Amino acid sequence: MAFRIAAAAATASASSSRIAARWSHNPPPFFSLPHHNLPLPLPIRKLGSQCHIRAISEAAAVEPAISKKEGDGRDWKIKILYDGDCPLCMREVNMLRERNKSYGTIKFVDIGSDDYSPEENQGLDYETAMGRIHAVLSDGTVVTDVEAFRRLYEQVGLGWVYAITKYEPIAKIADSVYGVWAKYRLQVTGRPSIEEILEARKKKGEVCKNSNACKM
């Protein structure tokens, strides 16, 4: 048995030597192809990297759409004029702003901002807007009091909260209650009277005429 195995090994070795010698003089067609005709290696796809890049690209594509809904003002259906210095008012404004991220139908305008312009808001000056809540519809209609709240809430899927105020006598009662709050809200929130606020703004305006670094 050992002899047959050794003989077979010798025969295989001799055959390999003859084949190698023959290929050295007449190589097979595959090995004789010019280098530039060799088939190119298949590209190696790094799925992990591609998935990562794709995820970043998709996230970048989604971000503009989200920011657009956060109140860029291009597609608004109602504009709220709010007092940014009123702490209780800002709780509601912030809630509406958060809800508006999913709707993009409300534009938020701070009447206390240096950039506030009555001309861009149906002629509503600071003093008038401070008296009670005002909202402006996209067609230019101005709404106030509880109707303004109802219209705002409807735009962010919460219309049911104020739905009952569409009907009398609830509407009149609700406006009366809100009127009391609007009249005393500065005192309730520990702020100066409207006269003092207006005087402070007037002085600020006079100072700002000669200064570009004027922030209230």
Task: Give the confidence band of 204 by pLDDT, cuts at 50, 70, 90.
Answer: confident
Distance between CA 20 and CA 146 in Å, rounded? Answer: 98
Task: Give the confidence band of 205 by pLDDT, cuts at 50, 70, 90.
Answer: confident
Domain assignment present for residue 48? The answer is no
Q: What's the pLDDT at 184? A: 95
From residue 160, how far is each of 23, 40, 153, 164, 166 by CA, in Å? 89, 67, 8, 8, 11
Q: In DSSP terms, which residues pair with 143 in a beta bridge? A: 135
Q: What's the pLDDT at 61? A: 45
Find out whether 130 and 194 touch, Cβ atoms under 8 Å: yes
Task: Give the confidence band of 207 by pLDDT, cuts at 50, 70, 90.
Answer: low
Domain assignment present for residue 85? The answer is yes
The domain total for the chain is 1
pLDDT tens digits for range 19-43: 444 544 444 443 344 444 444 444 4
Domain assignment present for residue 53? The answer is no
Burial class (CB in 10 A: 0-12, 13-18, 19+), 170: middle
Domain assignment present for residue 15? The answer is no
Q: Which domain holds residue 156?
A: 72-208
Find out whether 111 and 147 touch, Cβ atoms under 8 Å: no
Domain assignment present for residue 19? The answer is no
